[in-house]
Amino acid sequence: MAIACACTTNGLAQTVQSTTPRSVRSTAIVPHSTLTAADSALLRQRQLQMQQRIQQMQQKRRPGLTYTDLTMNDPDGKTMKLSQFVGKSKLVLVDFWASWCGPCRAEMPYVVRAYEKYKGSGLQIVGVSFDKNAEAWTAAIKQLGMAWPQMSDLKGWECAAHEVYGVSSIPSNILVDAKGTIVATDLRGEQLLQTIANLLGNE
């Protein structure tokens, strides 16, 4: 099994019938010596189709689009909407993650830093979880120090955000301005912090 820097819904592993759990599939390494010419051609075709599918999904959250509202429950079971936050702050970072996603956990310290540094300057964060297990979800929120609003429909990869925003791998995010326009997507690490600082006019 190969572990990549994102947890994905699908990948090359499916084309070779890997037993790798779906939640962590990203790539599969197949010795070329075991593949016939026809197999290699089929794999290349599947890879191309996959790349095209990913590009199509990414178009749903490209910068310049108006955000689409999401309605899910918060950890207390109360209905929550993205529209409760967009327009109330200068920027809203919608962070797509899950408790079981190792790369999400590795990225979270940057998100925490962003929140602590810029929450007083106009940044709000809303977490959208791809979890299925409510207890694991709420435990991770506390463990990772996520002090911002959280929502989930507890449907895993069937999460509404998958279709609405084309999220096929996590961690992922969109940055929405006060007018509801998506201004950046899939920011990671220091790039996340720098982009927020630039948009808020901070050093």
pLDDT confidence of residue 49: 63
Distance CA 165, CA 95 (A): 12
pLDDT confidence of residue 68: 95
pLDDT confidence of residue 7: 76
pLDDT, mean of each 10-residue run, the chain (203 residues):
53 32 41 69 72 64 94 97 96 98 97 97 98 98 98 96 92 97 96 97 69
Distance CA 130, CA 100 (A): 9
What b/e sequence results for 157-190 when a residue is b if at least 16 CB atoms lie within 10 Å of its CB, and e otherwise?
bebbbbebbbbbbbbbbbbbbeebebebbbbbee
- Contact criterion met (CB below 8 Å) for 7 and 101: yes
Q: How many CB atoms lie under 10 A from the CB of residue 3?
A: 12
Which domains, from first to last, does the chain contain? 7-60 (no CATH), 61-200 (3.40.30.10)
Distance CA 202, CA 198 (A): 6
pLDDT confidence of residue 40: 76
HSE-up of residue 198 (Cα within 13 Å, Cβ side):
9
Residue indicated by tokens 């507890």: 154
- Look at residue 27 and give its three-state secondary structure: strand
- Look at residue 73 and give its three-state secondary structure: strand
Distances (CA, A) of 145 to 42, 139, 148, 197: 45, 10, 9, 21
pLDDT confidence of residue 35: 72
User: CA nearest 10: which of 157, 128, 137, 126?
Assistant: 157
Name the CA dihedral angle for 131, 142, 125, 133, rounded to a multiple of 10 degrees.
Answer: 10
